[in-house]
Amino acid sequence: MNTIETEYDLVIVGGGTGGPMAAVKAKEKNPKLRVLVLDKANVKRSGAISMGMDGLNNAVIPGHATPEQYTKEITVANDGIVDQKGVYAYAANSFPMIEELDRWGIKFEKDETGDYSVRKVHHLGSYVLPMPEGHHMKRVLYRQLKRARVEITNRVVATRLLTGPDGAVAGVMGFDCRTADFHVIKAKAVVICTGAAGRLGLPASGYMFGTYENPTNCGEGHVMAYHAGAELTNLECFQINPLIKDYNGPACAYVTGPFGGYTSNNAGQRFIECDYWSGQMMMEFFNELEGGRGPVFLKLDHLAEETISEIEHILHTNERPSRGRFHEGRGTDYRKQMIEMHISEIGFCSGHSASGIWTNERGECSIPGLYAAGDCASIPHNYMLGAFVYGKFCGENAADYVSGISQPAIDAGQVEKEKARVYAPLGKTEGL
Ligand SMILES: Cc1cc2nc3c(=O)[nH]c(=O)nc-3n(C[C@H](O)[C@H](O)[C@H](O)COP(=O)(O)OP(=O)(O)OC[C@H]3O[C@@H](n4cnc5c(N)ncnc54)[C@H](O)[C@@H]3O)c2cc1C
């Protein structure tokens, strides 16, 4: 077990969704920077979009929605607990990001005139943009990382940030989960893109890796930020999601909504006003169960065969291919019966709620040199496109920040303390 020391201008922790975008944008801003993406898994197939994505939940496209309308929408969905400046900054940059992703080769559904085929699912506006061919997301991102000459280190689990004498970020520490080598990586700035803290609660299945969130996203980014002195916020606004019972993917009533599907009670009646996630929607779900009208179901059995086939194509071939196999094994068929739903375990995830590492509308955290984007950061309901937009903000702003400073001094005491903490379980003779 060696200690490996390296030095970069900028380190991005987490190469899932927001991380690759942050790295590419930092290199575009200043190609001379030494930029590293660090991931505990393999960047080629890591994170929440490892199997692709079947749609954008929150596309703000001119002609269909405005940034002002979107900001109001999220304010309503989140019962007013939002930093509107952060939401607005996302919304105003949503469309240019879609256009850029389109140029990179990511396929979004378009109508016969070539216009983006946006669907209405939310309370006020139309923001859902299907991606029936969205399984190639990670391949496209990886190509961009290579093109921008970003360095990549896989299989290193980041555990703590290094801070300099004035409290500013000075790097990151972690260990290689294959070799157990300890890594001390000096950097002038760090962008945390470690996704949701998705393993706060045990899934109803009892299987620890059967979480709604990608199970490698277990909150280490939140913890690193906290221990470095950065603020976390809105932790009471944790996420819970309606799922297919015993299957850890989203039920996707909101995906089937535009096709005529909906969430129903045990009598087959619709009881949710709007299938888009909100405090109100979860309260309606809770009330139905408490009122003796549960269990709750995903209802598609009234739809035509062609419609159900199209829904299956979207839900079973992309993002969660295991879903079709799950229904096959269970003997459940959307055509023949309603599919029982359940509630997920809790998690901190700004993608679907509002909790996370506090950032402003530039992606800056509350200590100098630290940035955060995606599900670990606090901008509410940001989802995949928000991870890309804030990844861009973080990459560009961090590139400017590191260009004007020198590497802060490293405190050897921090390194020794963390090394002892990481290796402590190896010294135990029994248990963990
Ligand atoms: C089941 C599901 C369905 C979804 N459906 C949609 C949808 O239809 N439309 C939509 O717009 N959005 C959807 N989302 C949300 C969207 O996928 C996320 O908001 C977005 O991908 C989050 O990006 P991220 O960069 O924050 O996290 P991720 O892409 O998950 O990346 C986090 C990365 O950090 C790495 N990591 C974690 N901890 C460490 C550590 N300690 N050290 C090193 N690396 C670490 C992980 O390996 C991972 O690669 C869905 C999410 C889920 C879970």
pLDDT in tens, 139-179: 999 999 999 999 999 999 999 999 999 999 999 999 999 99
Q: Which atom of ligand 1 is nearest to the CA of 350?
A: 19
Q: Which atom of ligand 1 is nearest to the CA of 224?
A: 41
- For 218, phi then psi, to 5°, come to -120, 25
Mean per-residue pLDDT, 301-330: 90
The superfamily (CATH) of domain 3-239+347-422 is FAD/NAD(P)-binding domain (3.50.50.60)
Q: Ligand 1 pocket: which of 128, 254, 359, 375 to mutate (most atoms <8 Å of CB)?
A: 375
pLDDT value at 253 more than 90: no
Confidence of residue 275 (pLDDT cuts 50, 70, 90): confident
Measured in Å, residue 47 CA sits from the centre of ligand 1 at 5
Whole-number mean pLDDT of the chain? Answer: 93
Confidence of residue 210 (pLDDT cuts 50, 70, 90): confident
Q: Ligand 1 pocket: which of 175, 216, 275 to mutate (most atoms <8 Å of CB)?
A: 216
Domain at 242-343: CATH architecture: Alpha-Beta Complex (3.90)
Confidence of residue 193 (pLDDT cuts 50, 70, 90): very high
Query: Tokens 């903000």 map to which residue?
Result: 393
Tokens for 65?
A: 């929605």
pLDDT at residue number 281: 86
- ipTM given for this complex: 0.99
Total residue length of the chain = 432
Mean per-residue pLDDT, 356-376: 98
Measured in Å, residue 191 CA sits from the centre of ligand 1 at 15
How many angstroms separate the CA atoms of 58 and 55, rounded?
9
Tokens for 412?
A: 């050897």
Q: Is the CB of 163 under 6 A from ligand 1?
A: no
Are 222 and 357 in contact by the 8 Å Cβ rule? The answer is yes
Q: Is the CB of 344 under 6 A from ligand 1?
A: no
Mean per-residue pLDDT, 219-248: 93
pLDDT value at 319 more than 80: no
Are 67 and 84 in contact by the 8 Å Cβ rule? The answer is no
SS3 state of residue 298: strand
Q: Ligand 1 pocket: which of 12, 36, 45, 46 to mutate (most atoms <8 Å of CB)?
A: 46
What are the residue ranges spanned by the domains of the chain? Answer: 3-239+347-422, 242-343
Mean per-residue pLDDT, 304-317: 90
* pLDDT tens digits, 14-42: 999 999 999 999 999 999 999 999 999 99
- The enclosing H or E element of 142 equals helix 137-147
pLDDT at residue number 24: 98
pLDDT value at 278 more than 90: no
Q: Is the CB of 57 under 6 A from ligand 1?
A: yes
Q: Is the CB of 250 under 6 A from ligand 1?
A: yes
Select, from the ranges 71-80, 205-214, 412-421, the one with the highest average predicted confidence (pLDDT).
Answer: 412-421
Between 205 and 385, the more confident residue is 385
From 13-27, 178-192, 266-280, 367-381, the region with the lowest mean pLDDT: 266-280
